[in-house]
Structure 1
């Protein structure tokens, strides 16, 4: 497995490597020729492989092509990098025996979307290999299990604990593999909040209720990466002095959010 995740300033960078049993020139064609690129890339993209050239994307939804990127680096047959809605995709090709090694990086802001991006690119590069090999391209959507394996591998299942004079706050953010309307009844069951404790309830969007020790719990579902809803769950409590320990609370929430993810992926 070659996938890794790191930060560069305030951005997140996904790095992957793949080896193809095909010469570098053939892989370059599959990266730059629109009719070949569209067979494995998420959209039809057209551009001149020259730094500064515009990149147009067509998602096949009837809206037609739109300029949403720019080539930022290009060395014929070796390096291609372009932006895509502010994100940066970089492909670097190396000769490797009788084949070619691809170094790929994807730079973006949404750290908690990294598992979706990684699992999606795994499928894309499987399709690229099939294209190069001249066999039917059957790579499909990533599975929920594959997605959540990347969540664990990249440490995206860990929460954060912040403390201050006003108390502490535990926060978990998780990209789910099911839409909000599917996740909502599972959340309500896991929350098990007595009706008298509920402070806010907006179906498939938000649930907030009182917690022991004078605190509050809030579940929120919002737009994610396209693989499902994005969950943000927080528990806050007033200044220390009660029986609750923030680290213990965080450990409990990690188990609960993991249980939600397991149930959603079946």
Structure 2
């Protein structure tokens, strides 16, 4: 298995390759037959298998937890059996390619999308899906680490644990986590009573070196903000793929605090990983 993450025309491109000991025709059926897709694909799929044909994706619980406002429909953009299938999934483009090899075939998935912070989740999820595909086709079962451990591996491999400095001096951290919002909030709040506003923020919300003022806004499992020496710090949580999506912003001349925020957020992520084992 090989995975690469790049950017093209302002979008994120994830490319994954898997060598399979099955002929292209057999794998093609697993990519295109809804009854075979059910054994490994993350959703139920209905498709009109032709160029410009419609395609739809249905999650077991009736909605996609990857994003807040999912678009679970698409169109087939390229169709060349048993070599190439490309379609849209909302704004995402997925391209599946099969090339024959001496022992079977090389399967390549190229996904193009906008949610770069979610890339570790997407990679880990597809690895497990492709493991299930191989097993469904009669391949050997692959023993892997758990999804959370895979996720945190790719966070580091793709450098998704780094903050962003904006031209105005503010900073931004967006980090996919492997625990649900309620667990993240509980870890941050550390049993602090519900009445946050007008009180100092719990230590879990404050990076080293920041002189935190009293909490300005607070909504459990959603948001907390407070002033600091030169601006405002805001924490936000929402549902993401496989856990909560955390966004931390700090306005003002905040460049010097990038390392402190990275240390705090990565410590939180490590604690949540241990807690989920």
Taking structure 2 as the reference length, the TM-score comes to 0.83
Q: Is the 8 A contact 2:14 2:112 kept in 1?
A: yes
Q: How many Å apart are 1:202 and its aligned residue?
A: 1.4
Q: Is the 8 A contact 1:126 1:139 kept in 2?
A: no
Partner of 1:56: 56
Would the alpha carbon gap of residues 49 and 248 (structure 1) be closer, same or farther in structure 2, given more than 3 Å must change? Answer: same
Q: How many Å apart are 1:98 and its aligned residue?
A: 2.1
Residue by residue over 1:29-86, the C-alpha shift from the partner in whole angstroms, topping out at 9 and shown as x without a partner, is 11111111111001121324321111133334479xx971111101011001111122
Q: For residues 200 and 111 of structure 1, what CA distance do their matches in structure 2 show?
A: 28
Higher strand share: 1
Q: How many Å apart are 1:196 and its aligned residue?
A: 5.5
Q: Is the 8 A contact 2:30 2:37 kept in 1?
A: yes
Would the alpha carbon gap of residues 94 and 33 (structure 1) be closer, same or farther in structure 2, given more than 3 Å must change? Answer: same
Partner of 2:244: 229
Q: For residues 28 and 49 of structure 1, what CA distance do their matches in structure 2 show?
A: 12
Q: How many Å apart are 1:142 and its aligned residue?
A: 5.3
Structure 2: unaligned runs, 5 residues or longer: 64-70, 190-202
Q: Is the 8 A contact 1:20 1:100 kept in 2?
A: yes
* Number of equivalences: 251
Partner of 2:219: 202
Which of 197, 216, 225 pairs up with 2:232?
A: 216
Partner of 1:69: 74
Q: For residues 214 and 87 of structure 2, what CA distance do their matches in structure 1 show?
A: 50
Q: Is the 8 A contact 1:49 1:80 kept in 2?
A: no
Structure 1: unaligned runs, 5 residues or longer: 239-245
Q: How many Å apart are 1:138 and its aligned residue?
A: 9.3
Would the alpha carbon gap of residues 68 and 256 (structure 1) be closer, same or farther in structure 2, given more than 3 Å must change? Answer: same
Q: For residues 75 and 237 of structure 1, what CA distance do their matches in structure 2 show?
A: 53
Q: For residues 139 and 53 of structure 1, what CA distance do their matches in structure 2 show?
A: 37
Partner of 1:243: none
Which of 243, 265, 277 pairs up with 1:257?
A: 265
Q: For residues 206 and 194 of structure 1, what CA distance do their matches in structure 2 show?
A: 19
Q: Is 1:161 aligned to residue 177 of structure 2? A: no
Partner of 2:89: 84
Q: Is the 8 A contact 1:81 1:88 kept in 2?
A: yes
